[in-house]
Amino acid sequence: MRMLWTLLRWIFVIPLRVIFRPRVTGVENIPRNGPFIVAANHLSFFDSIFISLLAPRRMYFVGKQGWLEQPGVKGKVQGLFFRGVGMVSVDSGSGSTTMAGLETSLRLLDRGHGLGIHIEGTRSPDGRLYKGNTGTAWLALRSGVPVVPCGVLGTERVHPKGAKRLYVTRFDVWYGEPLHFTEHHGRESDRRVRRQVTDRIVREIGALTGQEYAGIYAETAKSRVA
């Protein structure tokens, strides 16, 4: 799959940069070697693809199995593309999706890979920055790897929710300075520490994007308007 990722970068990155002219800042903050976590906000379905393709190192994003297992020829091509850009499916049939995702993520980090996570858990319904889920902190505390805060802005205009095509407009991707939580290493079971670490990461993302902070979970906001 590494060869496929390299091929897809050659095919898509140049047109992506020429057509959409994304402003990408801080690629030097991605560690050159060893495992790392990129913790990003989430505005568009294509965020993980853009973040992955525009980064200097390959990273994996853990997603729902349905994204990669669609039927038919179109589904197989879609699955091949998603796998090529680093999507890894979670089979939650034998347990919770959350636990399956954490276990898959931890295995990737143990193998020295980079891992991308949308810390809000789902797309922002209104462009604001929402409260982070603590799974990212659990992984960082358990593994001891650095966390690179990542902010995206404008991708919601490239592909608005429900859109059938992409719109040509500029967007921004920021990779912030790595955060290290070595003083809390091994305290992933401490709920208070997980929340402190999560809130720190979200604050750093907000400093990159300038988004208004909602103070609640995105899922909660979506349920209120459903």
How far apart, in whole angstroms, are the C-alpha atoms of residue 81 and residue 175? 24
Q: Chain-wide mean pLDDT for the chain?
A: 89
At 65 the pLDDT is 59
- In this prediction, residue 160 carries a pLDDT of 92
Average pLDDT over residues 80-107: 71
The helix/strand/coil state of 172 is strand
Q: What is the CA angle 85-16-31, rounded to 5?
A: 55
pLDDT band, residue 93 (cuts 50/70/90) = very low
* Model confidence, pTM: 0.90
Answer yes or no: are the C-beta atoms of 139 and 109 closer than 8 Å.
yes
Buried b (16+ CB within 10 A) or exposed e, 168-188: eeebebbbbebbebeebeebb
**pLDDT over 70 (residue 75):** no
Q: What confidence category does residue 6 fall into, taking pLDDT thresholds of 50, 70 and 90? A: confident
Percent of the chain with pLDDT over 70: 88
pLDDT at 76 over 80: no
DSSP letter string, 85-109: TTEEEE--TTS-HHHHHHHHHHHHH
CA-CA distance, 97 to 101, in Å (whole number)?
A: 6
CATH class of 2-12+33-217: alpha beta
Domain spans in the chain, listed from the N-terminal domain onward:
2-12+33-217
State the pLDDT at residue 80. 72
Kind and range of the H or E run holding 78: helix 72-84
52-56, 127-131, 199-203, 212-216: the lowest-pLDDT one: 52-56
Who wins on pLDDT, 103 or 109?
Answer: 109
| pLDDT (tens digit per residue) in 112-155 | 999 999 999 999 999 999 999 999 999 999 999 999 999 999 99
